[in-house]
Amino acid sequence: MDILWYLINRDGRYPWDPRFQRKVDFAYMQSHAKSIDQLGFDGALLATGPGTGPEPWITAASLINITEQLKFLVAVHPSLLSPTKFAQLAHTVDAFSGGRLLVNIISGAGSFESVGVSLTHDERYRHTDEFLDVYRRIAVGETVDFEGEFVRVKGATNPLPSVQTPYPPLWFGGSSDPAIEVAAKHIDTYLTWGEPPELAGEKISRVRARAAEFGRKIRFGIRLTVIVRDTEQEAWAAAQDLLDHMDQAAIDAVQGATSGGQSVGWERQQALHGWRKPKHARELEVSPNLWSGLALVLPGPGIAVVGDPDTVAARLFEYQDIGFDTFILSSFPLIEESYRVAEDLVPLLRAGKRSRADVLVAAG
């Protein structure tokens, strides 16, 4: 099981509320990256929207020398780069970090019009297909002439070899049919937002079957929030506290931001709560210990696993049993919760044990 954490420019106890948002500057991100590295997480997701927040390539490069083992999962929007320029950026970071780059290809979520890209949802995925076709060919040493619907190159070659071969691992998410087609053809790790196990398992089956038709096998990752406390009662009280600090303005802002995003993944997330804020947190428990409340105020991955360490570990092992081997976890505030998760939950996951008692017995 690979376990990654979140490294973004938005943090605080209730990060959707400006009153509780922290100043996340370079010094803060350095401190956070050092903590994640020292706590033993396998990597960190550097998430960003097109044209918003710090540039993830620069962020990753700036954190190389202050970390030792941490891998950087860098968000990439193919609509904003040529395959050759992408190869130069990716292979430079991979080489300078000693092979610690992971690439998260993003095509479907949100609007790209603010950065001058007016492609429709399906056009973005067709563009990504061409983009990755050219990139994967030049990465292995081909000189490529390509005349596609969106990508056109002549004499394209690899500007710089990467440390990882044949290239840094490609990650990608998307729930639509065009997304699954791209994943099956090109991707090393298919990444999905959190959903109840039966829905996530159905999606895995679709991707795995289509990849097999291309003669490929891929890995699977899932993005989840975890609300871990010493007891299940305390964990649900923490979820209730989050719910109590969600005002209608914050919910309306997310609803407006996601309504025109053409994202099937967002639609699947929203179906789990229906934009309804109940009085009690457990009214949004969509599966045992799975809470959809955060999706009301966080655009994108809003499913949380709630419970004591044994219970949360059990739920994550259920996801592992259906095929997920990579978990991107988070909880707010990010720095403080990274310590809690690293101390209370990660040892269970690393040991493959279903309870803290099993870990203690194994350790003598």
How far is Cα of residue 346 from the mean position of the Cα atoms in its chain?
A: 18
The pTM of the full predicted model, rounded to 2 decimals, is 0.91
Longest dimension (CA), the chain: 63
In this model, does residue 293 exceed pLDDT 70? Answer: yes
pLDDT in tens, 178-202: 999 999 999 999 999 999 999 999 9
In this model, does residue 235 exceed pLDDT 70? Answer: yes
The pLDDT of residue 53: 77
User: What percent of the chain stands above pLDDT 90?
Assistant: 76
Helix (H, G, I), strand (E, B) or coil at 226: strand
Amino acid at 105: I
The pLDDT of residue 117: 77
DSSP states along 258-326 = HHTS--HHHHHHHTTTTT---SSGGGGEEETTEE-GGGGTSSS---EEEE-HHHHHHHHHHHHHTT--E
Q: What is the mean pLDDT of residues 32-60?
A: 89
The pLDDT of residue 189: 98
Are the CB atoms for 309 and 319 separated by under 8 Å? no
Q: Which residues pair with 46 in a beta bridge?
A: 74
Domain spans in the chain, listed from the N-terminal domain onward:
2-221+308-362
pLDDT in tens, 134-158: 999 999 999 999 999 999 999 999 9
The pLDDT of residue 302: 83
138-161 exposure pattern, b = at least 16 Cβ within 10 A, e = fewer: bbeeeebebeeeebebeebebeee
The pLDDT of residue 266: 55
Amino acid at 163: V
Q: 2-221+308-362: what CATH class? A: alpha beta
Residue 136: closest CA among 151, 115, 124, 117: 151
